[in-house]
A and B are shown apart, each in its own frame.
Chain A
């Protein structure tokens, strides 16, 4: 299943995208799904089996996010 993480600020999304891509993780930057309220117009999606690695990495690098939620 695909998961999605949301951000409070585009600044956070941009930094998250960069960190995750640099780590070679398969992620997609997508428009924030309508069912989730977020302030940032973009979110990051990925497959469920990458979720732990992704959330751990963002926590380690102090990038705030919420989720992961089901896409």
Chain B
């Protein structure tokens, strides 16, 4: 079999690679020709940098159907955004519901707040063959006591399941709770409409489906929800006061932002908008289905949560009789295929699917993958599993 590329990259759920060409141009142009500190000074380079930051906010607002871009604040990544949401929203004695397949970006902040004696939470199970949260169990948990917040991962980074978010939101709101969506895997790869989907708070990262750089992400907070100020600092506004401004985004966005990162993120979001999220999703769905069908015909390969209907282009599997690290190592060293093996920062999820502590091999795609790469991967894995 022929090596088709130098590298076949199937680890887009960790970070997308490659990036669109415009990503590089935007970064280059930012630091060569703009490069001031956004929102700080009134001179031309500061304004130029500020325009880049606001452009990124507006493009994200367009992508997610957010009416007021100032309801989006930039953070380092989705984990920081999620922490900000928990710290800004939860008060002592509050109760949170979450799913049994959350990433550690949700699991650890909740456990931390619980251990500090501030909050408590309950984990709602998912169906192990689909990865979808058990809606009856969710409703029962909502009925049991007063719930402040329901924090749910939109697309599973382990098995790819996309949750029926509209249905979940309706249920959550029926019982007077708020919905926090972890959209790390879905922003840019799966259609999201915060208004139609009734999402109260949404955390995203820039470096996955939005094709931005690592080190920039953000949080959307719907109008009417004022998160408490957890981090305070310079904003370039109200500088005569040592009180944090109340208005968004300055209320929550402090210090010099990653404006060069925002330039490349804006280019990435523009790339997604030009392609169309629906088209990206349709293309990736075709590829991932081809991959799953191929996996099913390889002896000893077992796919986790096979029956999910709606998914981001992520699939987890194990090869019976082989360790996942051996499979991953052979794919990489013999065939130049990058996958991710192990627990994917999601021990809860692997416990739920019975793949703890060994984990799985995960293949995750992007619009830059193609049919030839899927065929090459399947042939390589066939040899590894067969040999």
The answer to whether the Cβ of B122 comes within 8 Å of any Cβ in the partner chain is no
The answer to whether the Cβ of B53 comes within 8 Å of any Cβ in the partner chain is yes
Per DSSP, are chain B's interface residues mostly helix, strand or loop, or mixed? loop
Chain A residue at smallest Cβ distance from B53 = A11
Chain B residue at smallest Cβ distance from A61 = B68
- A64 neighbours in B (Cβ, 8 Å): 247
Interface size class of B (residues with CB under 8 A): 20 to 34
Instruction: Decide: B250 and A9 in contact? CB cutoff 8 A.
Output: yes
Per DSSP, are chain A's interface residues mostly helix, strand or loop, or mixed? loop
The answer to whether the Cβ of B276 comes within 8 Å of any Cβ in the partner chain is no
The answer to whether the Cβ of B212 comes within 8 Å of any Cβ in the partner chain is no
The answer to whether the Cβ of B236 comes within 8 Å of any Cβ in the partner chain is yes
B-contact bits for A10-52, CB 8 A (1 contact / 0 none): 1110110010000000000001100000011110000000000
How distant is the Cα of A66 from the Cα of B229 in the complex, in angstroms? 24
Instruction: Decide: A8 and B51 in contact? CB cutoff 8 A.
Output: no
Instruction: Decide: A9 and B39 in contact? CB cutoff 8 A.
Output: yes
The answer to whether the Cβ of B42 comes within 8 Å of any Cβ in the partner chain is yes
Count residues on chain A whose CB falls below 8 Å from chain B CBs: 18
The answer to whether the Cβ of B237 comes within 8 Å of any Cβ in the partner chain is yes
Instruction: Decide: A14 and B247 in contact? CB cutoff 8 A.
Output: no
How distant is the Cα of A14 from the Cα of B39 in the complex, in angstroms? 9
- B223 neighbours in A (Cβ, 8 Å): 62
B247 CB contact (under 8 Å) in A8, A10, A40: A8
A24 to chain B, nearest CB (A): 18
The answer to whether the Cβ of B313 comes within 8 Å of any Cβ in the partner chain is no
A53 to chain B, nearest CB (A): 20
Q: In residues 235-251 of chain B, which contact A (Cβ within 8 Å)?
A: 235-240, 245, 247, 249-250
How distant is the Cα of A18 from the Cα of B53 in the complex, in angstroms? 13
- B38 neighbours in A (Cβ, 8 Å): 10-11
The verdict on A11 contacting B50 (CB below 8 Å), with A31-B42, A41-B42 known, is: yes
> Which residue numbers of A lie inside 8 Å of B, CB to CB?
8-12, 14-15, 18, 31-32, 39-42, 61-64
- A-B contacts, 15 of them at CB < 8 A, read A8-B245, A10-B42, A11-B53, A11-B70, A14-B47, A14-B50, A14-B54, A15-B54, A15-B69, A18-B54, A39-B239, A62-B68, A62-B223, A63-B70, A64-B247
